[in-house]
Chain A
Amino acid sequence: MTIHDSPQTFVREDDGATLRIHGSAIGDRVYSGAITFFAVCVPLLLLAVAWELGVAGWPALHKFGFGFLTSSDWDPVKGEFGAAPAIYGTIVSSIIALALATPLAIGVSLFLSELAPRWLKQPVGFLVDLLAAIPSVVYGLWGIFVLLPVLRDPVMPFLRDTLQLDRTGLFSGPAYGPSMLAAGIILAIMVLPYIASVSREVLMAVPRSQREAALALGATRWEAIRGAVLPYARSGIVGGVILGLGRALGETMAVTMLIGNRAEIATSLFAPGYTMASLLANEFSEASSDAHLSALMAVAFVLFVITLIVNAIARWLVWRVSRGTSGRVA
């Protein structure tokens, strides 16, 4: 029997062919319908959350108006609700986190992508990624038992008295421990793996030809990194920082445990503060009056909007930075 007249060949040439064409057309339609459904679900979910928060928070927003954002009066007993300290705390603690984490993360990722010997890359990279796997409450406990005592003595007195930074106003007052600074530091550790991980991927994706082009011009390793590798990876690194910022803005548990939870705007980073997320975590289960609940919903709505705005700015930044690199590099 030759290959040609084997039964299999006949099946393929006959009805098998038509059946397969027919089947694949239906499959395609089902498949595209299914993925379109999933794609639509995600934005719908986002809108549903925004809608729910907006509606529930509307009474408070309506009653206090713009003052809800600018007033520092948060007194559930008297029914006064101003979210300014929490908004301020969220933003300041996130800024501290990024200021500390960004240079560290870029340093780690540069080391891992450019300098580390092969046998060291995997374990160190894994350990950095592992930071992201630690539960928030564990960070909080570590903060209470390790970070706060260290901050109380020697870090805070050192900054205030030895470096005489109390003159700036940012590092003055009594060194209790629980403070905006403590929250910022714990957030820095928590967002570090996100920034480092993205930066490392982006740096490793820089084509070898870019490094070689710089080296061939007589650049040292560091000059090649600074002149060719980092600029090429710039937009991606900014993206990683933004991802970290998103995490920092919304982080709840560890911050609640370390920030001191006082609804006041203080210049000094040694003073306790509040964030929107920790405010919600602390008060939501105890909120009894409708006004209080509505105010908390309004805080959640503001947090949601601020996160959206930050992400929009980030998108714009990435777009602006990457405009230079998005073209054709043959």
Chain B
Amino acid sequence: MTRSLVVPEIMPRVRVSALDAYFGSAHAVKGVSMRIVDRQVTAIIGPSGCGKSTFLRCLNRMHETVPTARVEGGVELDGRDIYARDVNAIAVRTHIGMVFQRPTPFPTMSIRDNVAAGLRVLGAARPSRAQTDEIVEKSLVRAALWNEVKDRLSTSAIGLSGGQQQRLCIARALATEPRVLLLDEPTASLDPLSTQAIEELVYALRRDTTIVIVTHNMQQAARISDSTAFFLNGELVEMDTTNDIFTAPRDARTEAYITGRFG
């Protein structure tokens, strides 16, 4: 009987070990190690400038697209080091999707083409037209946007509201079936109703997707995440189940932050 109670060591989807990130000489992320579990929502919280967005951008090798940016340490996706010499950053990004703080629809493309934008760069694995239509529909359904846009797929994406645009960006990221979805403060520029729609969406996506969400909204982290990491000055102060972080933080700084004493 007691044997079954032993929690087996689950292989994490993403394993980060001793990650350092720099902008020129500025040390933005300092020696962070983390395990991100499959099909869970992992929230990253912390005050502005604590390195949480930079950390997120290291997970799909977006950090290095900024001039003078530098990364040290390791990030493994399903046991494979994405910073290894023989790994192509562009291939990494097709497996790890990302949605930004502000909605970034491509303004000259239709709704359909926006969702299909990621499929078009797949090279040999590029789907046919009919398959693309299928994937577009599936992705929009998953992003809870299908019912609102199904009659105007060929119209411009900028006719959508801010919240719809953000869900469109989520659909676009989902279209390539990424193993991990990174959300960088996805509701920071949205009104409360749109925010709620995105939160519900993230909560539902957890069933089949691994999600890492950066947020400065602690209530949001508490509502939708399974585990939470608290960053301060580029360091990972504490990471635990969301419940424990918000009810019984072990570190005094975490407690100070979640009770609103700073940040």
Contact = CB atoms under 8 A, between A and B. Distances in A.
Given A217-B118, A223-B121, A327 B158 contact: yes
Given A327-B158, A329-B158, A228 B106 contact: yes
Contact of B172 (A209, A217, A232): A217
A214 B97 CA distance: 11
Given A209-B104, A227-B106, A330 B165 contact: yes
B156 A324 contact: yes
A216 interface: yes
Interface residues of A, number: 24
A217 B109 contact: no
A213 B169 contact: yes
A107 B103 CA distance: 29
Given A220-B121, A328-B158, A212 B104 contact: yes
B106 A330 contact: no
A211 to B, nearest CB: 8
Interface in A177-211: 209-210
Given A212-B62, A213-B169, A330-B165, A218 B90 contact: yes
A165 interface: no
A215 interface: yes
A189 B127 CA distance: 44
Contact of B98 (A216, A231, A324): A216
Contacts of B172: 217
B24 to A, nearest CB: 13
Interface in A209-268: 209-210, 212-220, 223, 227-228, 231-232, 234
A231 B109 CA distance: 9
Interface in A289-330: 324-325, 327-330
Contacts, number: 83
B103 A327 contact: no
Contact of B91 (A209, A218, A234, A325): A218
A223 B100 CA distance: 19
Question: Considering residues B90, B100, B105, B156, which has the most beta carbons from chain A within 10 angstroms of its beta carbon?
Answer: B90
A215 B93 contact: yes
Contacts of A330: 102-103, 162, 165, 189
Nearest to A117: B67
Interface residues of B, number: 34
B122 interface: yes
A328 B163 CA distance: 13
B263 interface: no
B105 A325 contact: no
Interface string B29-58: 000000000000000000000000000000
A232 B105 CA distance: 11
Given A216-B97, A218-B93, A327-B156, A227 B117 contact: yes
Contacts of B106: 210, 213-214, 227-228, 231-232
Nearest to A328: B158
B108 interface: yes
Contacts of B159: 327
Nearest to A213: B104
A305 B105 CA distance: 41
Kindly list the 3 A-B residue pairs having the minimum CB-CB distance in the complex, ordered from nearest.
Answer: A218-B94, A213-B104, A217-B118
Interface of A: 118, 209-210, 212-220, 223, 227-228, 231-232, 234, 324-325, 327-330
9 contacts: A118-B67, A216-B60, A217-B93, A217-B94, A220-B121, A228-B106, A232-B107, A329-B103, A330-B165
